[in-house]
Amino acid sequence: MNDKKVTLHSHPAVWHPCTQMKHHEAFPPILISRGEGVWLYGADGKRYLDTISSWWVNLFGHCNPRINAAIIDQLGKLEHAMLAGLVHEPVVELSERLSAITPGDLSHCFYASDGSSANEIALKMSFHYWQQSGFPDKTQFVNLQNGYHGETLGALSVTDVSLFRQIYAPLLRPAHPVPTPDWRFAETGTTPETHALKAAAELESYLAQHHVSTAALILEPLIQGAGGMGMYHPVYLQRAREICDVYQVHLIADEIAVGFGRTGTLFACEQAEITPDFMCLAKGLSGGYLPLSVVMTNDTIYRAFYRDETSQAFLHSHSHSGNILACRAALATLDIIEQDNVIETNRKKADFLNQCLQPVREHSNVKNFRNCGMIWAFEVDNPQPDFTHRFAQKGLEQQLLIRPLGNSVYIMPPYVINEEEMELMAQGILHILNEI
């Protein structure tokens, strides 16, 4: 980088994701110069607690020395080699370790770079499997109301968040959303479990009529992220697995945001004791360091493509599929999870943070306060039209990088957060609520 000072009032060379660029006239982006632990440091010397793990990817803090060391070691050996016709030890080891720790018989790994790409792969694999297995009519997909699976065209087709998909509707394949088990939509006096069972009954009713044309159901297990961090009872996953089995429909578990301990177990599907036909992983897979995603599936699906004819292979590719640097980061991430007893430690941290957040839970403007593992969320009643920007700006004044989803405020901090930092975060959020 040259010595020319970078100014970011509104820097048109950088078109920011998920951003109305004109808003940067009033809210210029922060120039970040370094990170350490849960903190991001601006070029002006101010620091910000990364309460959302830089879009849900960071598990063990910025500039983690153990992940750094793994990447630096690999840099001196090999930076990348294509995974078509070649293979390397890190991708073999990562695939074997993922197969060992994920539920059931997910014994085959297909790599890409990001979550949307992983979901695209799972959708294509499911469709292609049925084409090669004598069920050519299975071409449709079912998704959940308010579900989010990415913004490439296939993934967006099974996304039910109008902000992202409405303008692109003419480009998308039709999908079929069924009612969400998110307990925020339960009738008054209905328990989360009862609401989940009711939603599952709606799924069953749909598949009873349309299973002949349905390839797969895709869902986010336990937590619907971009839909406002909606949370639901694990019984829905249990019933969904049973229903999909009855009607010969694949179950795709999009664990991109919730995998690797976010929900309190290593994978969200564990809480329902189910194994999906496809599990999609990304974000925390590499500790948040490098773009890496994977679709895991079982031997039955793998064998459907194991043919003599090239045309019957799964002909999907990514230039950086299984990138060796990203695989080394992922292996270091798995080492930390295993060696540091992360899941149990997180449960203790979650208990402490829930105590710190009790005044937030009880605040008069807060509703639907909820927690699952290392994810917290709530809605703010009667927000002003510019609520999202105001809350985010007030957060920066409290040293908090926080980014509400509409009127849903959530926190998903890196696992290395300590008690002092948790107290600061809780007090900052309470201060914002009192001011806003």
Residue 8: pLDDT band with limits 50, 70, 90 = very low
Please say whether the beta carbons of 255 and 103 come within 8 A: no
Please say whether the beta carbons of 425 and 432 come within 8 A: no
pLDDT at 213 over 80: yes
Please say whether the beta carbons of 133 and 306 come within 8 A: no
In the numeric block, which tokens belong to residue 284? 């925390």
Can you give the pLDDT at residue 241? 98
Q: Residue holding tokens 């044309």?
A: 213
pLDDT at 3 over 70: no
Can you give the pLDDT at residue 32? 96
pLDDT at 64 over 80: yes
Q: What is the mean pLDDT of residues 146-154?
A: 97
List the single range of 24-28, 407-411, 419-423 with lowest mean pLDDT.
24-28
Task: Kindly report the pTM of this predicted structure.
Answer: 0.96
- CA pair distance 347, 344, nearest whole angstrom: 5
- CA pair distance 182, 196, nearest whole angstrom: 7
Can you give the pLDDT at residue 1? 44
Mean of all residue pLDDT scores within the chain: 96
H or E element at residue 375: strand 375-380
Q: Residue holding tokens 């009612």?
A: 179
Cβ-in-10-Å burial (0-12, 13-18, 19+) of 107 comes to: middle
| Percent residues over pLDDT 90 in the chain | 93
| Percent residues over pLDDT 70 in the chain | 97
In the numeric block, which tokens belong to residue 133? 């297995």
In the numeric block, which tokens belong to residue 358? 């009790």
Can you give the pLDDT at residue 7? 47
Q: What is the mean pLDDT of residues 169-180?
A: 97
- Range from 12-21, 98-107, 385-394 that averages highest in pLDDT: 98-107
> pLDDT tens-digit profile of 293-342?
999 999 999 999 999 999 999 999 999 999 999 999 999 999 999 999 99
Residue 26: pLDDT band with limits 50, 70, 90 = confident
Can you give the pLDDT at residue 202? 98
Residue by residue, DSSP assigns 23-34 as: GGGTSPPP-EEE
Please say whether the beta carbons of 155 and 190 come within 8 A: no
> pLDDT tens-digit profile of 30-39?
999 999 999 9
- CA pair distance 92, 111, nearest whole angstrom: 12
